[in-house]
Amino acid sequence: MKRNMTLSKRKKRRLPPMNGPVKHLAGLTVKAYTVGSWCPTPDGTGKPEAVTLKIDVDIGGEEVGLFLRLKNPRTVDVLIQGLLRHKRDVWPDSP
């Protein structure tokens, strides 16, 4: 498959089944999140190589940034589709 193919030409794969409702969720408090393009150069002038999701969480009163780098279009698509699937499950009347 060519790397420059459009999304409509890529073979669509089904997402794995949902895990079901979460019975007990204990975790970190999310303060904020940011999505952006990431490049390996320290000054940010290089060619972007990944989409990055930065999640700012509170750990013991200190805000810490967690970074998730998504390095290919398929990974980004799976994350987006998973979020949309659960959005529809939680808020079925939402557009």
Total structural domains within the chain: 1
Is the separation of the CB atoms in 67 and 81 below 8 Å? no
Smallest CA-to-CA distance from 58 within 94, 26, 27 is with 27
Q: Is residue 86 part of a domain?
A: yes
Q: What is the pTM of this model?
A: 0.66
For 48-93, how does the pLDDT look when each residue is reduced to its tens digit (9 = 90+)? 999 999 999 998 889 999 999 999 999 999 999 999 998 998 999 9
Q: Which domain holds residue 83?
A: 30-39+46-95
Q: pLDDT at position 10, please?
A: 57
Give the Cα separation of 80 and 34 in Å (integer): 15
Q: pLDDT at position 2, please?
A: 43
| Tokens describing residue 58 | 């509170």
Q: Is residue 58 part of a domain?
A: yes
Q: Is residue 10 part of a domain?
A: no
Q: pLDDT at position 84, please?
A: 93
Smallest CA-to-CA distance from 69 within 49, 52, 44 is with 52
Smallest CA-to-CA distance from 52 within 65, 74, 67 is with 67
Q: Is residue 80 part of a domain?
A: yes
